[in-house]
Amino acid sequence: MVSASTSPRVHPAWLPDAALAPLGARRVLVDLGRDAGPVGATVVEEVRRATAAHGGALTVGDDASSTDGHDLVLRVAPDGPDHGFTRLRTGGVTVVVAPDATGLLHGLHDVVRAGDAAFGADHAPVTSRPVAPVRMLDHWDNIDVHPVMGQVERGYAGGSIFYADGRVREDLSRVADYARLLGSIGINAVAINNVNVHRTEARLLTDGLADVARVADLFRPHGVRTYLSVSFASPVVLGGLTTSDPADPDVQAWWAAAADRVYATIPDFGGFVVKADSEGQPGPFAYGRDHADGANLLARALRPHGGTVFWRAFVYNHEQDWRDRRTDRARAAYDHFAPLDGRFDENVVLQVKYGPIDFQPREPISPVLAAMPRTRLAVELQVTQEYTGHQKHVCYLGPLWSQVLGFPLAEDATRDVARIVSGLPGHRDTPSGDLPAGGITAVSNVGDDEFWTGHPLAQANLYAYGRLAWNPEADPVELLDEWIGLTFPGADPRVRATLHTLMDDSWLTYEAYTAPLGVGFMVDPGRGHYGPNVDGYEYSKWGTYHFADRDGIGVDRTVATGTGYAGQYPSPWRETYEDLATCPDELLLFFHHVPYGHVLHSGKTVVQHVYDSRADAVDVVTSWVDAWAALDGLVPDGLHARVAERLDEQVRSATEWRDQVRTYFFRKSGVPDATGRPIY
């Protein structure tokens, strides 16, 4: 089922009609075989709409032997590649073969991305399979508007596309459009409510199931399974029991009955996402149980139905004492979960934030991902820009995620994060054996804004996430180029060049005017982590300190003299981070407390690096304003105006970051800027 938005004000993102013109102008045969189901119907309808708009022709048939008279053949064949597709061109015909309709849908969109190049010279078969078995987006949407977090927690693009006025929307046409976007980039799982499960949202598991089924009906035709975030306290909150103890037979029976009801309503339901014993959410600790006990309780309820529990490892003490230099929030996930390796049931996936703190622009990779070889793991990313500018700043995150997924964390730095979470060995010529596979998850950045993501250019983050989850080895700059070509088909070449100028290195530019050298969290708590507040968390019960004084700055996380966090890593990273001489500059202040005059590998002192990088980054952002202004008339007016407004705010905010951080370091250190630039 293909949805055309009912509102002319909804931006088509990377699937405008013009992007399908190369396909739509051809003669296309779709051969689905038997039982292609709703995804097969989507493939047919996508081609039907494209050919109707662009003068091509569609034939739907089951003649597996004939390709005569067609430019493109889309075929379901039992011998196609598992979970993927193969594309080839022979005798002037482009052929896409997949083992099922979902693979064929992904192959269809591969042709869309290739454009006219898909119909060029003959070429041998090229096979594409997703690396991660689960490629999920988690929506932190609330049914009721939360008094602090709003309707979408960490949402910067308006309200929820799922909920309005205290209930699931009657008109779910935006959800249908969204499902089409996700199917086109290979996302296959969506959790539709906040991991912080409040009382109304908890009832989606019971009273709200019929509405959840309506949502699932819209995702299913695009190969996307629906999940719910659930409260660990549901037996008490919803079932009237006096306990949620995993060992209690009545609790076990309640969850089993709840799972039975869900699957009776939604037979292809994916499973549960759970945040427990974290930031006030209930969990098994209240009953003297551990997280394996809690996760396995839900897993055993889901197992008869083929469901999965995604259990978040974001567990730490949020009532810390800043006076205690041994307290370290970064240690918490490893300390809680590493001892539990091997105790989780097979249908539990432990969902681990990519860094040990909280989605900072720069963090080391979480050591938990290397510490649990007998556990299914998923790495969690954040598409929504909580710590990267609230979708008011241009900050293309593809390069960050590419570094995360490609980081060689385990097995003597031979096995990267993508291969860990996908159950693949480090050495690519080694058989995979029975390595557990989880997947890649991320927090969505979508709301009911006209442009989906508030900032039109933030759509590129959603696009790149899906494409990197499918193929973590993809070049993020090439993916950006792909997104530009789809979003602005046929545009003046200056559009593409300008967008690359703004976006290619925008993550590094953002990092350069915010918290330096990996220290993180110099954000304003009162504005939801937007804008500078250098001491915003310095005396906070939530942790995340920088310990700046007159002599130096940074957190000593070494084994020798600090919190011991560096010792949670396997070799060679343990030794790399422990030693001041080998610790990378970009993570220096995460692992070490150093004098302001400490000389970086770059040759600059810490304090001069801070002065220079902040000032230079503002100059870069300021230059973007004129570069974008020059595209007036070359992109749609509304989109141009929205981006121009956001760029003005980015310059204002970056300037504030520059001045506050430079002044703070000067007042602490007493060291002037060697360039003589003003410090306030």
Angle at 142 between CA 136 and CA 144, to 5 degrees: 165
Q: What is the pLDDT of residue 426?
A: 85
pLDDT score, position 212: 98
d(CA 508, CA 510): 5
Q: Is 85 strand, coil or helix?
A: strand
Task: Give catalytic status of residue 279 as yes or no.
Answer: yes
- The pLDDT confidence band at residue 81, using thresholds 50, 70 and 90, is confident
| Residues forming a β-bridge with 31 | 75
Q: What would you report as the CA-atom Rg of the chain, rounded to the nearest whole angstrom?
A: 25
CA dihedral sign of residues 469, 470, 474, 479: negative
Average pLDDT over residues 467-473: 98
* Among the listed residues 640, 646, 625, 644, the one whose alpha carbon sits nearest the alpha carbon of residue 392: 646
pLDDT in tens, 608-644: 999 999 999 999 999 999 999 999 999 999 999 999 9
Cβ neighbours for 592, distance < 8 A, ≥ 6 positions apart: 554, 555, 556, 557, 558, 580, 583
Per-residue pLDDT at 607 exceeds 60: yes
Catalytic residue among 141, 201, 386, 511: 386
Number of Cβ within 10 Å of residue 82's Cβ equals: 10
Per-residue pLDDT tens digits for 385-438:
999 999 999 999 999 999 999 999 999 999 999 999 999 998 766 666 678 999
Closest CA to 522 of 335, 663, 651: 663
Q: 418: Cβ–Cβ under 8 A, 6 or more apart, which residues?
A: 131, 132, 405, 406, 424, 440, 472, 473
What's the pLDDT band for 327 if we cut at 50, 70, 90?
Answer: confident
Q: Is the pLDDT of residue 146 over 60?
A: yes
Residue from 46, 110, 211, 358 carrying the catalytic annotation: 358
DSSP designation for 121: S
Cα–Cα distance measured from residue 476 to residue 106, given in angstroms and rounded to the nearest whole number? 19
* CB < 8 Å & 24+ apart, contacts of 428-437: 435/373, 436/346, 436/373, 436/374, 436/375, 436/376, 436/377, 437/132, 437/133, 437/376
* Under 8 Å between Cβ of 369 and 420: yes
Model confidence over 435-448: pLDDT tens digits?
Answer: 899 999 999 999 99
> What tens digit of pLDDT does each residue of 164-192 get?
999 999 999 999 999 999 999 999 999 99
Q: What pLDDT sits at residue 6?
A: 43
* pLDDT interval class at 5 (50, 70, 90): very low
- List of domains in the chain: 17-128 (3.30.379.10), 135-487 (3.20.20.80), 510-555+593-669 (3.90.1330.10)
Answer yes or no: is pLDDT of 3 > 60.
no
Q: Which of 62, 250, 279, 575 is catalytic?
A: 279
pLDDT tens profile 239-296: 999 999 999 999 999 999 999 999 999 999 999 999 999 999 999 999 999 999 999 9
CA dist., res. 260 & res. 302, Å (int) = 8
Whether the pTM exceeds 0.95: the reply is yes
Q: What are phi and psi of 362, to 5 degrees?
A: -145, 120
Distance CA 155, CA 150 (A): 8
The rounded mean pLDDT for the chain is: 95
Which pLDDT score is estimated for 432? Answer: 60
